[in-house]
Amino acid sequence: MQDDDPDHIALISEIKNGKFDNASEILEYDYENRYVGPAGFLQITALQMAAWQGNIDLLNQLYKRGADINSIDNIGRCAFYYTAYSGNADVTKWLLEHGGDVDIKICIYSSKIDIPDSLYTANIKYSPLEKQLPIPDCKGRTPLHYAVENNHAAVVRVLVEDVVNVNVEDELGIIPLLLAGSTVKSYDLNEMTKFVKIVKNLVETWTFVNAVHPETGNTAVYRAIELGSAEATKILLLHGASPLYKCQNSGSTPLHIAASTGNIETLTVLLKTISRPFIDIHDQNNHTALHRAVYQGHRECVQALLRCGANLAEETDTGVTAVDALFHHIAQPFDFLTDVLNSCVQSLATDNSDTKKYENIIVDFGILAPRDQAQMEVVTAIIAATSDMKQLAILQNPVVETFLRLKWERLRIFFFLLILTHLSFVISLSNYALMFAQNDADHVATRRIVATCSCILLLHNIIQIILEPKYYLRQLETWLSFICVKLSLIISIAGGFAKCSKEEIESQHCMDWMLHSISIAILLSWMQMMLLISRVLMWGDYALMFYTVLTNILKINQTFGSLMIGFALSFAVLFRGNNQFVNFWSSIKITVVMMMGEYDYDKLFEIKDGKKNFLPVTSGIVFMVFVMLASIVLINLMIGLVVNDIQGLEKEGHIRRLMKQANFVAHLEKVTHHLSNHFFYGTWLHRLLRNFSGKIFRSRRKITTTIIVSSREKCFRYMNRIMIPTKIPTHLKEALFSLARKSFKNDNLADKNKEINASKLTLILSEFEEEI
Q: Which of 87, 113, 138 is the last residue of a domain?
A: 138
Q: How far is the C-alpha of 535 from the C-alpha of 668, rounded, in Å?
A: 13
Cβ–Cβ contacts within 10 Å for residue 752, how many?
10
Contacts of 425 (CB under 8 A, 6+ apart): 450, 453, 454, 457, 488, 525
How many residues in the chain? 772
> Which of the two residues, 387 and 187, has the higher pLDDT score?
187
Helices (H) and strands (E) counted in the chain, each on its own, are 34, 7
Contacts of 459 (CB under 8 A, 6+ apart): none
Of the listed ranges 15-29, 298-312, 356-370, 402-416, the least confidently predicted one is 356-370
State the pLDDT at residue 265: 94
Q: Do 530 and 565 sit in the same domain of this protein?
A: no
State the pLDDT at residue 679: 54
Domain count, the chain: 3
State the pLDDT at residue 59: 93
105-155 pLDDT, tens per residue? Answer: 887 544 444 445 555 555 544 454 445 678 887 788 999 999 999 999 999
Q: Would 223 be classed as within a structural domain?
A: no
Segment 5-31 shows an average pLDDT of 84
State the pLDDT at residue 750: 46
State the pLDDT at residue 167: 93
Query: Do the Cβ atoms of 448 and 428 come closer than 8 Å?
Result: no
State the pLDDT at residue 311: 93
- Dihedral pair phi/psi, residue 449, rounded to 5°: -65, -40
Q: Do 23 and 132 sit in the same domain of this protein?
A: yes
State the pLDDT at residue 543: 67
Segment 460-483 shows an average pLDDT of 84
Q: How far is the C-alpha of 327 from the C-alpha of 338, rounded, in Å?
A: 12
Give the Cα-Cα-Cα angle 345, 348, 353 (nearest 5 degrees): 125
Q: Would 314 be classed as within a structural domain?
A: no
Q: Do 444 and 520 sit in the same domain of this protein?
A: yes
Q: Do 500 and 597 sit in the same domain of this protein?
A: no
Q: Do 91 and 126 sit in the same domain of this protein?
A: yes
Q: Do 101 and 12 sit in the same domain of this protein?
A: yes
- Closest alpha carbon to 64 in 41, 40, 98, 104: 98
Cβ–Cβ contacts within 10 Å for residue 644, how many?
9
Of the listed ranges 85-94, 496-505, 717-726, the least confidently predicted one is 717-726
- Closest alpha carbon to 674 in 701, 654, 651: 701
CATH code of the domain containing 651: 1.10.287
Q: Would 365 be classed as within a structural domain?
A: no
Q: Do 431 and 486 sit in the same domain of this protein?
A: yes
> Which of the two residues, 681 and 546, has the higher pLDDT score?
546
Q: Would 588 be classed as within a structural domain?
A: yes
> Is residue 646 scored above 60 in pLDDT?
yes
Of the listed ranges 88-97, 309-318, 510-519, the least confidently predicted one is 510-519
Domain boundaries, position 111: 1-138
Q: How far is the C-alpha of 322 from the C-alpha of 315, rounded, in Å?
A: 7
> Is residue 218 scored above 80 in pLDDT?
yes
Q: Do 8 and 46 sit in the same domain of this protein?
A: yes
> Is residue 291 scored above 70 in pLDDT?
yes
Q: How far is the C-alpha of 386 from the C-alpha of 393, rounded, in Å?
A: 9
> Is residue 315 scored above 70 in pLDDT?
yes
Q: Would 107 be classed as within a structural domain?
A: yes
573-602 pLDDT, tens per residue? Answer: 887 767 777 788 888 888 888 877 777 766
State the pLDDT at residue 696: 58
Mean pLDDT of all residues in the chain?
80
332-355 pLDDT, tens per residue? Answer: 999 999 999 999 998 876 555 555
CA 670 to chain centre: 22
State the pLDDT at residue 254: 95
DSSP letter string, 379-445: HHHHHHH--SHHHHGGGGSHHHHHHHHHHHHHHHHHHHHHHHHHHHHHHHHHHHHHHHHTT-S--HH
State the pLDDT at residue 638: 73
By the 10 Å C-beta count (0-12 exposed, 13-18 middle, 19+ buried), 645 is classed as exposed
- Closest alpha carbon to 666 in 309, 414, 333: 414
Q: How far is the C-alpha of 499 from the C-alpha of 493, rounded, in Å?
A: 13
State the pLDDT at residue 587: 83
Q: Which of 510, 534, 558 is the last residue of a domain?
A: 534
First to last CA, the chain: 56
- Give the per-residue SS3 of 637-685: HHHHHHHCCHHHHHHHHHHHHHHHHHHHHHHHHHHHHHHHHCHHHCCCC
> Is residue 749 scored above 60 in pLDDT?
no
State the pLDDT at residue 112: 41
State the pLDDT at residue 110: 46
518-552 pLDDT, tens per residue? Answer: 888 888 888 888 878 776 655 656 666 777 777 77
> Which of the two residues, 737 and 761, has the higher pLDDT score?
737
Q: Which of 507, 534, 561 is the last residue of a domain?
A: 534
Q: Confidence band (pLDDT; 50, 70, 90) for 188?
A: very high
State the pLDDT at residue 724: 45
In what side-by-side order are the strands of the sheet with 360-364? 345-347, 360-364, 706-710, 715-718, 726-727
Q: Confidence band (pLDDT; 50, 70, 90) for 729?
A: confident
State the pLDDT at residue 643: 64
Q: How far is the C-alpha of 483 from the C-alpha of 489, rounded, in Å?
A: 10
By the 10 Å C-beta count (0-12 exposed, 13-18 middle, 19+ buried), 709 is classed as buried
Q: Would 160 be classed as within a structural domain?
A: no
Tell me the HSE value of 446 on the side-chain side, using a 13 A CA sphere. Answer: 17
Segment 40-55 shows an average pLDDT of 88
> Which of the two residues, 6 and 218, has the higher pLDDT score?
218
Q: Do 515 and 554 sit in the same domain of this protein?
A: no
Q: Would 707 be classed as within a structural domain?
A: no
Q: Do 530 and 562 sit in the same domain of this protein?
A: no
pLDDT over 70 for what percent of the chain? Answer: 78
Segment 682-710 shows an average pLDDT of 64
State the pLDDT at residue 123: 54
Most confident of 4-18, 25-39, 333-347, 547-561: 333-347
Q: Would 423 be classed as within a structural domain?
A: yes
> Which of the two residues, 457 and 610, has the higher pLDDT score?
457
Q: Do 433 and 522 sit in the same domain of this protein?
A: yes
Q: How far is the C-alpha of 202 from the C-alpha of 72, rounded, in Å?
A: 27
State the pLDDT at residue 671: 78
> Is residue 723 scored above 50 in pLDDT?
no
State the pLDDT at residue 60: 93
State the pLDDT at residue 492: 83
Of the listed ranges 14-28, 378-392, 722-736, the least confidently predicted one is 722-736
Q: Do 479 and 591 sit in the same domain of this protein?
A: no
State the pLDDT at residue 252: 93
> Is residue 676 scored above 50 in pLDDT?
yes
- Dihedral pair phi/psi, residue 279, rounded to 5°: -65, -35
> Is residue 686 scored above 60 in pLDDT?
no
Q: Rounded to two decimals, what is the model's pTM?
A: 0.76
